[in-house]
Amino acid sequence: MSLAVLERKQCARNLALAGNGPAFAAPLHVGRPNVGDRSALHRRIDAALDRVWLTNNGPLVQEFEGRLKELTGVRHCIPVCNATVGLEIAIRALDLSGEVIVPSFTFIATAHALQWQRIKPVFCDIAPNSHHIDPSSVEKLITPRTTAILGVHLWGQACEVEALGAIARRHRLEVLYDAAHALGCSYGGRMIGTFGRAEVFSFHATKFVNTFEGGAIATNDDDLAAKIRLMVNFGFAGLDRVVYIGTNGKMSEISAAMGLTGLDCMEYFTSVNYQNYKHYRGCLSGLPGVTLLAPDSSGKSNFQYIVLEIDALEAGIHRDDIMAVLHSENVLARRYFYPGCHRMEPYCSLDPLASERLQWTERLVNRILILPTGTAVSTSDIELIATLIRIAVQEPEECRRLVRAHSKM
């Protein structure tokens, strides 16, 4: 992005919606993959091809598990083909059934991993400031059919593991975590991966360390890990011996090659994310009704998401109108996790009244906006994105008019 573009975009009449060129020539995505050192990746892939060993717990997958264990301090961190399947396997390995309490404010995969196995996700509310599962909303939802709490560490920040652990102990429930966003994060000095009976990381292409598609199931429980390893590989305990129902949850060597390359650069990716976060914070400061979610002091964050909350009353403009302005400028901001799992099928049909107990979730899904970050975003990109948001807040009526006019075209 050149300075000229920034100078050209100073008020609503300069916007793409008013008939001008977009701020960005190519789309700027949320979740643009971090690639890392390509030559290291190529070397690893070449070595796998030379070995002619492409999957089935090959040397790169084993090395990847070793590196994940080192990073998190957990006893087992079993690589899998993606986090959704990882959650399904962890849920099944824990013999969960009946009902599991889970926040509605999460990616749909968290709920689907339960429902896929005919376990009812019972949606609980979040705490408005952290966006995390609210422990006080969990206890009210426990019934004789409840078997577990499935917490989610959102946005690269740990949820309240101590409070959730205490509730689980009190009611003799299992507790596990969707840690899709939380590689490299910690809580109270302890790394994510070591909490609950199991935690599941995602290495989808859009995560700050990726394996194209992939995930890992972390646990300190040796017996559970042994069961999970069987389940990941169809239940095979030997060449012709199947001892358990299983699936194909394996990670391939090429995925592990990418994961190892990402781990090599993880500190760099985190520092870029942190710099981007600080730059956004500076550029957006003082804008009424626009709040950038700040990590709390409970532990380390990987800063992999830039999370804005827009208060339409204070900002004078709704989140969706700001998003429309950004999209027309090729900034593909996202409203994760709109409209909330409880408003998507099959959950809205199964539990049509869920929204009544999800006050904070309902509020947040209409206010949240995720902005691009990662190595694909430069400081001048951030300045331009912030300028576009500033225009929307400073000229709300004109921006709304442009958005409406454009949507009629």
Interface with ligand T4K by CB under 6 A: which residues? 29-33, 82-84, 106-107, 109-110, 152, 178, 180-181, 202, 204-206, 215, 332, 334, 336
Task: Establish whether the linkage from the previous residue to 346 is cis, with ω within 30° of 0.
Answer: yes
Residue 226 C-beta: closest distance to ligand T4K, Å: 23
The nearer residue to ligand T4K, 138 or 287, going by C-beta atoms, is 138
Cα separation of 237 and 98, whole Å? 29
Cα separation of 99 and 79, whole Å? 27
Residue 313 C-beta: closest distance to ligand T4K, Å: 28
CA distances from 110 to 78, 122, 295, 346 (A): 19, 12, 22, 13
Residue 272 C-beta: closest distance to ligand T4K, Å: 16
The nearer residue to ligand T4K, 32 or 197, going by C-beta atoms, is 32
Residue 205 C-beta: closest distance to ligand T4K, Å: 4
Residue 382 C-beta: closest distance to ligand T4K, Å: 18
The nearer residue to ligand T4K, 126 or 399, going by C-beta atoms, is 126
Listing DSSP states for 253-294 in one string gives HHHHHHHHHHHHTHHHHHHHHHHHHHHHHHHHTT-TTEEEPP
The nearer residue to ligand T4K, 12 or 272, going by C-beta atoms, is 272
Cα separation of 367 and 299, whole Å? 25
The nearer residue to ligand T4K, 23 or 402, going by C-beta atoms, is 23
DSSP 26: S
Cα separation of 21 and 43, whole Å? 42
Residue 98 C-beta: closest distance to ligand T4K, Å: 22
Upper half-sphere CA count for residue 176 (Cβ side, 13 Å): 31
The nearer residue to ligand T4K, 55 or 394, going by C-beta atoms, is 55
Spell out the residues 6+ positions from residue 339 whose beta carbon is closer than 8 angstroms to its own: 365
CA distances from 308 to 16, 155, 365 (A): 22, 11, 11
The nearer residue to ligand T4K, 38 or 408, going by C-beta atoms, is 38
Residue 157 C-beta: closest distance to ligand T4K, Å: 12
CA angle 262, 37, 219 (to 5 degrees): 15
CA distances from 278 to 156, 258, 282, 284 (A): 15, 28, 6, 10
With beta carbons less than 8 A apart as the criterion, state whether 396 and 315 touch. Answer: yes
Residue 376 C-beta: closest distance to ligand T4K, Å: 8
The nearer residue to ligand T4K, 6 or 35, going by C-beta atoms, is 35
CA distances from 239 to 228, 235, 290, 366 (A): 18, 11, 59, 53
